[in-house]
Amino acid sequence: MTGREWRGSAFGGARGRTDVPKIVDWYMEGKLNIDDLITHRLPLERINEGFDLMKSGESIRSVVLY
């Protein structure tokens, strides 16, 4: 990778202290739909299946229930 660099960010550049509470408010007010982004809900016993879904690109967001 000559001449290239990798960069990353946490929260996609959002400021956690101010933006996260605002996003939560939008969700609670029904202005932001997050529920449709959850494609799988798995019990803790099936966590490895969640990793497999992630690796294969079959899930958008999996939630582990415990």
| Residue range 6-49, pLDDT digits in tens | 666 666 777 878 988 999 999 999 999 999 989 999 999 999 99
Range 26-56 burial, b when 16+ CB lie within 10 A, else e: eeeeeeeeeeeeeebebeeebeeebeebeee
Sign of the torsion formed by the C-alpha atoms of 1, 8, 64 and 29 = negative
Structural domain boundaries of the chain? Answer: 13-65
Give strand pairing partners of 65. 43
Q: Say what the pTM is.
A: 0.57
What pLDDT is stored for residue 65 in this prediction?
Answer: 95
